[in-house]
Amino acid sequence: MSGEHPDTNSQQIDGDQYKELINAGLIWLRTNQESVNALNVFPVPDGDTGTNMVLTLQAAYDEISNSSEKQVGVLAEKLAHGALMGARGNSGVILSQIWRGFSKGIGENKNLDGKTLAEALHQAQVTAYKGVVRPVEGTILTVCKDMALAAEKALQETTDPYQILEIVTDAGQVSVDNTPELLDVLKEAGVVDAGGKGLLHIFEGMIRYLNDEPLDIEPVHVQPLSVIGRQEAMSSAEPGQDYEVIVDFQPHGQLELEAFYQDLEEIGTSIQVGEGDGMYRMHIHVPSDKRYEPIDYTMTLGTISKVHIENLMIQMDPSLSGQDEEEPIKMTSVSPGEVALVIISPGIGFSRIFASLGAAAIVEGGQTMNPSTQEILGAFEDLPTDLVIILPNNKNILMAAKSAAELTVKQVEVIPTVTVPQGLAAMLRLIPGQTLEQVTEEMLSAMSEIESGEITTAVRDVEIDGIDVKEGEIITLHNGKLVGSNKTLKEGCLTFLEVAKATELELITMFHGENINREDAQAMAEYIQEKYPDQVVELQYGGQPHYQFILSIE
């Protein structure tokens, strides 16, 4: 932190104080980033709400961090712009809308008093709700609304903005805790809403800063056992921390959490602890030479029932994919008046396929790393045509793609592809010489003719959509919906093909990811061909992380 500590008796928040408070919220959100990621409802290895919100707020703060501006209204407007351009994922886009509304409520005010703060929060929730086509209660929207209502009510007793911040934060905690009562899917998964929790952390960081509490040390706490599982390796692995170790154990007596955390901090990082029915789960990242120390240490405290060790760095070895280095991807050139296609691609294999089908620009990203609004905008702003179509290929990128489309003077259509197979099907309808309207109509039609499947490994135990999922099992998603949890990869693939009624269609395409080698993928394709002799089975390299297969049936 920089700057002097704010005078909380002034009943005014000036420009410098505003920057300090935003920075505090950012630091505290980053400190709790992985715990927010772990709140992902689906037990997939790429929950990234915390990461998206951190990157969005970082982009926002970068707009004001070195500014000499003293007027809060101007700073709030700059912050909102930075959040909009840096927004990643749906949670990031909604967060950017919150800051946009917050800026509207402040207007041209030089300082932020209690009344203006309440108005800013009111406008924040109004703008956020308007930015979502079908608002859902029990999400970040609800938490923002409850915080705004708390600020309005607080004005009856005080106009001190610092006191109102405390009241608002307390209300946010109550709202977050209540989200499972408003959204059944959260209750089934045993978690609170991740976006709402992220928003709460931002305001908690402000309060911790005001109270001189540390911002870079996460407080010792125990989460539900179900949310402590295998984390997304490459985004959370620190240099030198090569192994992930997870230990389930039942302590001999009362577990002293403070001492437990302190001892683990001597061994590694990324420490998380979960508890349920008297059983504890410990998660930690350690160097190679310490990969057995957490196990030995935990054995002194209780009886171990299960151990999982995974080499985090092995995913950096390109030989796992079985793919040779190839020439750089060559995009399709477009002329003025032609339709340019901008594609979001989750893997190098998919990028080559999209390029071969006529993509003018490809933005790397997908479920694992959502591209920002700025990155999507930058992909087509310099193209020599004013006619653009964006294929986001992921539901969590759709809002950012639409934001990019609204920020340009070009004619941009966003085709709401939420899976990569849908995007590929849309691409195949591209006919040179068609108008933007004709291409859009053809692509929208193609989306409904594809069945999409995703096969990955569950990172935690959970019961959702009536399916009992166990950590380490192979889970199957059909058009984004969880439809099965099985012991083997073969069973996972067959579950999708059965649910998608593959016998009624002709072509099964299997795109294998970077976490399964070519030989094993080929063996799986041959197995599927034996089970479905009347269908054509094709195998291609997608290169996507975490998902052994993405499947398409048409």
pLDDT higher than 80, residue 478: yes
Q: Residue 350 phi/psi, 5° resolution?
A: -60, -40
Kindly state whether residues 326 and 289 are assigned to the same domain.
no
Residue 345 is predicted with a pLDDT of 93
Write the CATH number for 50: 1.25.40.340
Q: What is the CA radius of gyration of the chain?
A: 25
Q: 41 to each of 47, 186, 335, how far by Cα in Å? A: 8, 7, 44
Write the CATH number for 338: 3.40.50.510
- Is the residue at 301 inside a domain? yes
Alpha-carbon span 320 to 318, nearest angstrom? 5
**Using the 8-state DSSP alphabet, how is residue 397 labeled?**
T
Alpha-carbon span 132 to 385, nearest angstrom? 30
Q: What is the dihedral of CA 146, 88, 270, 320, to 10 degrees?
A: 150
- In this structure, the number of other CB atoms found within 10 A of the CB of residue 307 comes to 14
Kindly state whether residues 56 and 118 are assigned to the same domain.
yes
- Is the residue at 272 inside a domain? yes
Which domain, by its residues, includes 307?
225-314
Helix/strand/coil for 554:
coil
pLDDT digits (tens, 9 = 90+) for 440-460: 999 999 988 899 999 999 887
Kindly state whether residues 108 and 142 are assigned to the same domain.
yes
The tokens describing 50, both together, are: 């915390």
**Among candidate residues 373, 401, 435, the one where a domain is terminated:** 435
CB 323 within 8 A of CB 349: yes
Kindly state whether residues 246 and 377 are assigned to the same domain.
no
**Total domains in the fold of the chain:** 4
Residue 106 is predicted with a pLDDT of 96
The tokens describing 541, both together, are: 């390299």
Kindly state whether residues 182 and 310 are assigned to the same domain.
no
Write the CATH number for 272: 3.30.70.3100
Residue 322 is predicted with a pLDDT of 46
Average pLDDT over every residue of 243-264: 86
pLDDT higher than 70, residue 221: no
Kindly state whether residues 57 and 122 are assigned to the same domain.
yes
pLDDT higher than 60, residue 91: yes
Kindly state whether residues 305 and 354 are assigned to the same domain.
no
CB 283 within 8 A of CB 271: yes
Kindly state whether residues 192 and 309 are assigned to the same domain.
no
- Is the residue at 235 inside a domain? yes
Whole-structure pTM value: 0.78
The tokens describing 248, both together, are: 């389930």
Q: Return all residues near 198 (Cβ < 8 A) that are at least 6 apart.
A: 29, 32, 36, 49, 50, 53, 91, 95, 140
Alpha-carbon span 25 to 108, nearest angstrom? 23
Kindly state whether residues 117 and 138 are assigned to the same domain.
yes
Kindly state whether residues 134 and 100 are assigned to the same domain.
yes
Kindly state whether residues 461 and 427 are assigned to the same domain.
no
- Is the residue at 446 inside a domain? no
**Among candidate residues 296, 314, 332, the one where a domain is terminated:** 314
- Is the residue at 2 inside a domain? no
**Among candidate residues 218, 250, 278, the one where a domain is terminated:** 218
